[in-house]
Amino acid sequence: MSDQPRRPRKPAKPYRRPQKDPVRILAFDALRAVDERDAYANLVLPPLLRKARESGDFDARDAALATELVYGTLRRQGTYDAIIAACVDRPLREVDPPVLDVLSLGAHQLLGTRIPTHAAVSASVELARVVLGDGRAKFVNAVLRKVAQDDLDGWLERVAPPYDEDPEDHLAVVHSHPRWVVSALWDSLGGGRAGIEDLLRADNERPEVTLVARPGRATTGELLGEEAAVPGRWSPYAVRLTEGGEPGAVAAVAEGRAGVQDEGSQLVALALANAPVEGRDRMWLDGCAGPGGKAALLGALAAERGAVLLASEKQPHRAGLVAKALSGNPGPYQVVAADGTRPAWRPGSFDRVLVDVPCTGLGALRRRPEARWRRRPEDLDGFAPLQRGLLRTALESVRVGGVVGYATCSPHLAETRAVVADLLKQFPDTGLVDARPLLPGVPDLGEGPDVQLWPHLHGTDAMYLALIRRTG
């Protein structure tokens, strides 16, 4: 036995319970739901926030912070993944998804918010202790301390390839979009670096809430009485709530006389409603109506002209939403649950037809922060036959002299011009109508005759519209 005096043992740190921060825990739960269950953040968050507020320890500021943490983390996931990958010594796919969610939340607080570094790291470590356990919290602590060594610009210089070497990869990392999406958006937008960068930046902004005053049922004057409400930029029926707020609390929205609707969608419905048709103008069709935003505007416009709207939607539960959106419409309408590629109506019955077809939604990335990561290029092949089938039926459903509007909330050329070009070939007795004059006052609509709206140029979703007349 050694007779050396024993070194006094360091007193063990007393165990401290992790601090439960309801905002971070809620944000983590929402990210897990998006990750594990393929949930949509905009559907997962509201019930979580409601429950937290009902429990009493959550106020409006907490709700705003939790929302920002979830949306910001999801939008910037591509950038944060690249940065976190540089701070761990194994491939990211080997990091447990819940650990990665805590790291991404922490990276967002460090690099994408004004939360002080010390608070961001300690809040993330406490979160990790609660949801992952003390062992993995140490790993989180070590990684986030590395992330905290630089700011976002510094990290981007390190992890993004130089623009001159690989422009698309550079933009993908810097603006947090998958490379194939950058490529597709750029193909459609055209032009140089400045335009695509403005677009990608706009995709990372939270869109304003825009309302539509359904004609004959509400006025913009009524909606402009709301807090921080200003007129829309382009649609005479639009009002923007510049500070967000709760649209459901607006009386006209609660009563269905107004709705929440991006101005791009309003412009599409208005352009179709105002396109010149020869002769009769009494029968209108919305062939892909669910959940009913455009149908409700078309229904109100049809009522003003003494026309009837048939709103058709394949999914019965979505047809129910269309019926709800149209209820109280001042003129006649009918809602049917039907497959738009096998119509129950006679060919040539309609004077105006809208097909706002299912698509990848690459034009609405501002609204669905996770969508860009979930979509795959193969999805385009899945939508292609349906988009063509729906446009084919629409062209068969319209009478000679009538007009079809083909709309997507995607600017991907495979979903826009390629579909229209194919169908124009199959229907030689059709021609494109110049849609640009039907969006009066809206600049930067391109060379026509179709129109493509853009978040960075118009403040709208990237809606596409082609107007096609049956001539034969």
Ligand X SMILES: C[S@@+](CC[C@H](N)C(=O)[O-])C[C@H]1O[C@@H](n2cnc3c(N)ncnc32)[C@H](O)[C@@H]1O
Binding site for ligand X (CB under 6 A): 265, 288-294, 313-315, 318, 339-341, 356, 358, 386
* CB nearer to ligand X: pick between 183 and 341: 341
Give the nearer residue to ligand X in terms of CB position, either 22 or 316: 316
Nearer of residues 224 and 413 to ligand X, judged by Cβ: 413
3-state DSSP assignment of residue 371: helix
Sequence letter at residue 320: G
Please tell me the distance from the alpha carbon of residue 456 to that of residue 410, in angstroms, as a whole number: 15
Q: CB-wise, 112 or 287, nearer to ligand X?
A: 287
Place of tokens 């299912």: 358
Q: Angle formed by the axes of helices 152-159 and 77-85, to 10°?
A: 70
CB of 359 to ligand X, least distance (A): 6
For the bound state, the minimum distance from the C-beta of residue 256 to ligand X, rounded and expressed in Å, comes to: 14
Query: Which one is catalytic: 409, 420, 433, 463?
Result: 409
Q: How far is the CB of 265 from ligand X (least distance, A)?
A: 5
The span from the CA of 287 to the CA of 294, in Å, is: 11
**Shortest gap between Cβ of 385 and ligand X (angstroms)?**
10
Name residues whose C-beta falls within 8 Å of residue 192's C-beta, 6 or more positions apart in sequence: none
- The H or E element that residue 416 is part of is none
Answer whether 363's CB lies under 8 Å from 372's CB.
Answer: no
Output the CA angle 160-163-169, nearest 5 degrees.
55
Whole-number Å distance between alpha carbons of 356 and 289 = 7
With respect to ligand X, which residue has the nearer C-beta, 386 or 418?
Answer: 386
CB 60, CB 244: distance < 8 Å: no
Residues comprising the chain, all counted: 472
Q: Quick one: 358 or 402, whose CB is closer to ligand X? A: 358
Q: How far is the CB of 290 from ligand X (least distance, A)?
A: 3
Closest distance to ligand X from the beta carbon of 204 (Å): 23
* The two structure tokens encoding residue 316: 């019965």
Side-chain-facing half-sphere of 102: CA atoms under 13 Å: 27
409 as an active site residue: the answer is: yes
Residue type, 211: L
CB-CB contact of 391 with 419 (8 Å): yes
Minimal distance in Å, beta carbon 336 to ligand X? 10
Nearest approach in angstroms of CB 367 to ligand X is 13
Q: Are 458 and 233 in contact (CB under 8 A)?
A: yes
Residue 276 has a CB neighbour count (10 Å cut-off) of 12
- Looking at the Cβ atoms of 314 and 352, the one nearer to ligand X is 314
Phi, psi for residue 230 in degrees, rounded to 5: -135, 155
Annotated binding-site members for S-adenosyl-L-methionine: 288-294, 313, 339, 356
Task: Say whether 9 sits in a helix, a strand or coil.
Answer: coil
Q: How far apart are CA 431 and CA 470, in angstroms?
A: 7
Q: What distance in Å separates the CA atoms of residue 431 and residue 471, rounded to the nearest whole number?
A: 7
Between 170 and 352, whose beta carbon lies closer to ligand X?
352
Contact 72, 64 (CB under 8 A): no
Residues 167, 164: Cα–Cα separation, whole Å? 6
d(CA 444, CA 434): 14
On the 0-12 / 13-18 / 19+ scale of CB atoms within 10 A, 411 is buried
Please list the active-site residues: 409
